[in-house]
Chain A
Amino acid sequence: MNILSIIRVAFRALARNKMRAALTMLGIIIGVSAVIAMVSIGQGAQASVQAQIEGMGTNLLFISAGAQNVGGVRGGAGDTGTSTPLTTDDLDAIKREVPSVSLVSPSVNARSQLVAGNQNWNTNVQGVSEQLPGIRNWIVQSGDFFTDADVRTAARVIVLGQTVADNLFPGMDAVGQTVRVMNLPFRVVGVMTRKGQDPQGRDQDDLAFAPYTSVQKKLLGNTRLQVAYVSAGSPDLTYTAQTQITDLLRQRHKLTPSEPDDFTVRNMSDVAEAANQTNSTMTILLGCIAGVSLLVGGIGIMNIMLVSVTERTREIGIRMAIGARSSAVRTQFLIESIVLSLTGGLIGIALGVIVSVAIPALLTWPTLVSPASIIGSVIFSAAVGIFFGYYPARKAAALDPIDALRYE
């Protein structure tokens, strides 16, 4: 008896109980579509993080105070007692002496309440240099960014993010207005263009930029520097710049070769990798949760196949009496279960893809349907059919024809 005839027999047997077959398949359909949708959400997040990081410029570098993996901050010989190994002098030296670096901006953050008239808004005021727009690929929408002179004189000027501007000055132009930050008046010189949400759902426009000198002196009252952004001349120069900055800073901090760095220079590809790792962990987690529903679907198939074997005991007896070998009976039931799971799998793929396409429209989450998850689902659902169909099929094949024929 050839396999094609057995497949036909299996299809015919399933067609006799269409409703039941459909309901059994539903478990697999939900499982497979859940896997595909979940994985596409995870991969969409991953892709958008990637795109965002690339959008920030692959020539971007971060310098932060303190060694990456050391708990405390080590001071150099001449700086004993200072908890800030990164200074504005360091940054000036980088600007001056590292040819592969084109732009530099420190970054100091002050979480403050901004007040304008009777409106107020809590946000993050970032103290940066006038070169920040170039480094972050971010331009002002109206007004201007503050200037080199503003930084030198620690001028009380501020550039608002769209969200802050919308909340403090609803329906009017913020440029030229005054906001009070910790009771000090700052003049709004510009408003940034809108960036929208980042992949984690955070509002990127909820911030304000002021000269770092102003933030240090007027808002924070110290000259500590924790983080700085540096832009390499071109993406190819990123690693060169990284090495050169490290060498320069080690020299300036008077570190002996045996001492570890008391600062960290990271480039965006490192950051991208870290983000990738987080996201693939999330993807795997989502996929696993969805996989559980696929497993439940498989158990549903096994259940129905067991019922079917019992119900069709007499049919099995007839088939055996007229010459069906045990293997033919086993194959028939196995194929029935594979047909159930694979058909369910294919419908599930279609549904999963539809859901993946619908999610960005409904929830504004990015999704990305990967061919790997589709191929994986097909293989997995066939495997579910074989695994959960094997026991009922074996049970059918093991029946004794005499008992089976006598079964009422």
Chain B
Amino acid sequence: MQATVEIRPQEFEVNASLLAQQPEARPVIQLEHVHKTYTMGDVEVHALRGISLTIRAGEFVAIMGTSGSGKSTTMNIIGCLDRPTRGMYILDGQDVSALSKDERADIRSRKLGFVFQGFNLLSRTSALENVELPMLYAGLDAGERHRRAIEALHSVGLAGREQNHPNQLSGGQQQRVAIARALVNDPALILADEPTGNLDSRTSIEVMEIFQRLNRERGITLVLVTHESDIAEYADRVVVFKDGKIKKDHRVAQPRDAAIQLQNLPPIEDDEDED
């Protein structure tokens, strides 16, 4: 993953599409025989029963499954919020299966970006400050933080909304602030947990359009957890979980293109009519 700021989109478009097609592209996520067991009182709950999954740089993967299928647990492990009970997890070439809490915090800071269903922005804090937050913990100086936060907000189409607080933004706009926050540290991977769960269908398409654009133009690796199959169809690859195992893992031959869909939708004033 490029950590430099001199990104030329055209160049990346070529590289990203190349990477996506080449099976030998560098792996970003390698899960090998990962088990996760929770102990609840005397009962052992096997949330994951031996997951092996490789996701390569530039891929856009949707993880699907019903609740209890193990997709959230996998998400937490991939996001370095949790550790596997058994098995190995290599993230961006580094074995992170046995790191301490603080080491995992550093990994999250440097290599991961999160987008949540409930947006999870800090309330009573401006969009700009929300986006600056990850860089604060990564130790960047104030000038750099400010510059990159503005840039990230522009890239998700929120120029001019920098000083708005979350309660002054629509759901779609809040989710775009969250996306800007996720990508501002140039992560190796962006994890989106039901990012459209709280949004109406039009706004969902808008958010998917941003994800597709980031994936195609900047080659950002994306992992999306969803239970909606039409949302999963925007991805290049769909992994289906059931009972703590991978049930299905297939490439999408013709992913839906959010940009084209948006063009075909009747024009509405941007986001203003949302609840």
Residues in A lying within 8 Å of B, measured CB to CB: 1-2, 5, 9, 12, 16, 314-315, 317-328, 401-402, 405
Contact = CB atoms under 8 A, between A and B. Distances in A.
A326 B114 CA distance: 18
B105 A320 contact: yes
A319 B139 contact: no
Contacts, number: 60
A146 to B, nearest CB: 83
A323 B120 contact: no
Interface string B235-251: 00000000000000000
Nearest to A6: B136
Interface stretch (B15-23, B25-33, B63-71, B76-84): B76-84
Nearest to B119: A318
Contacts of B122: 315, 318
Interface string B104-131: 0110111001101000111011000000
Contacts of A2: 139
Contact of A405 (B108, B116, B134): B116
A264 B230 CA distance: 106
A315 B120 CA distance: 8
Given A12-B125, A326-B101, A326-B102, A319 B137 contact: yes
Contacts of B102: 325-327
Contacts of B121: 318
16 contacts: A1-B137, A5-B136, A9-B136, A315-B122, A320-B105, A320-B108, A321-B114, A322-B113, A322-B181, A323-B134, A323-B138, A323-B185, A325-B102, A326-B101, A328-B137, A402-B76
Given A328-B137, A402-B82, A405-B116, A323 B101 contact: no
Given A401-B81, A402-B76, A325 B137 contact: yes
* Residue among A5, A16, A328 having the largest count of chain B Cβ atoms under 10 Å: A5
A314 B116 CA distance: 12
A325 B139 CA distance: 12
Contacts of A327: 102
Contact of A324 (B79, B81, B113, B137): B137
B90 interface: no
A402 B193 CA distance: 12
Nearest to A321: B114
Contacts of B116: 405
A240 B124 CA distance: 78
Contact of B105 (A5, A9, A16, A325): A325
Given A317-B120, A318-B122, A402-B81, 13 more contacts: A1-B136, A1-B139, A315-B122, A322-B137, A322-B181, A323-B108, A323-B110, A323-B185, A324-B109, A325-B105, A328-B137, A402-B82, A405-B120
A306 B113 CA distance: 29
B81 A323 contact: no
A245 B262 CA distance: 112
Interface in B160-194: 181, 185
Contacts of A315: 122
B133 interface: yes
A265 to B, nearest CB: 73
A9 B185 CA distance: 19
A323 B125 contact: no
A323 B76 contact: no
Contacts of B124: 16
B120 A318 contact: yes
A15 to B, nearest CB: 9
A310 to B, nearest CB: 16
B137 A326 contact: no
B133 A319 contact: yes
A321 B108 contact: yes
Contacts of A16: 124
A323 B109 CA distance: 4
Contacts of A402: 76, 81-82
Given A1-B136, A16-B124, A323 B82 contact: no
A393 to B, nearest CB: 16
From A1, A321, A328, residue with most partner B Cβ within 10 Å = A321
Contacts of A401: 81
Contacts of B133: 319, 322
B106 A325 contact: yes
Contacts of A5: 136, 142
